[in-house]
Amino acid sequence: MPTRDDRSAAQNARQAILDSLNRFWKPADLDTAPSTAQHLLAELVNQGELRHLRRGLYWRGLKTPLGMAPPQPDVLAAELAGVPGIGPAGLSAANALQLSTQIPRRGEYAIPARPPADYELVRFANRSARRGRADAALTPIEVATLEVLDRWDQVIEASPDAAMTRLTELIDAGRLDAERLAEASDTEPASGRARLRHLLQRTGRTELAERVRRADRRTEVRALAGLTST
CA distance 35 to 226: 61
Mean pLDDT per block of 10 residues along the chain (230 residues) reads: 67 94 96 92 95 95 91 91 94 95 91 91 94 97 98 91 96 97 98 98 96 96 84
Predicted local distance difference test score (pLDDT) of residue 36: 92
Cβ-based neighbour number of residue 26 at 10 Å: 12
Element (H, E) at 190: helix 190-202
Q: Domain spans of the chain?
A: 4-68, 73-223
Predicted local distance difference test score (pLDDT) of residue 98: 95
The reported pTM is: 0.87
- What does residue 25 show for φ and ψ, rounded to 5 degrees? -135, 140
For the domain spanning 4-68, the CATH number is 1.10.10.10
- What does residue 122 show for φ and ψ, rounded to 5 degrees? -140, 150
By three-state DSSP, how is residue 177 classified? coil
Q: Which of 224, 229, 201 is closest to 149 using CA atoms? A: 224
Predicted local distance difference test score (pLDDT) of residue 202: 95
- Give me the count of residues in the chain: 230
Predicted local distance difference test score (pLDDT) of residue 104: 87
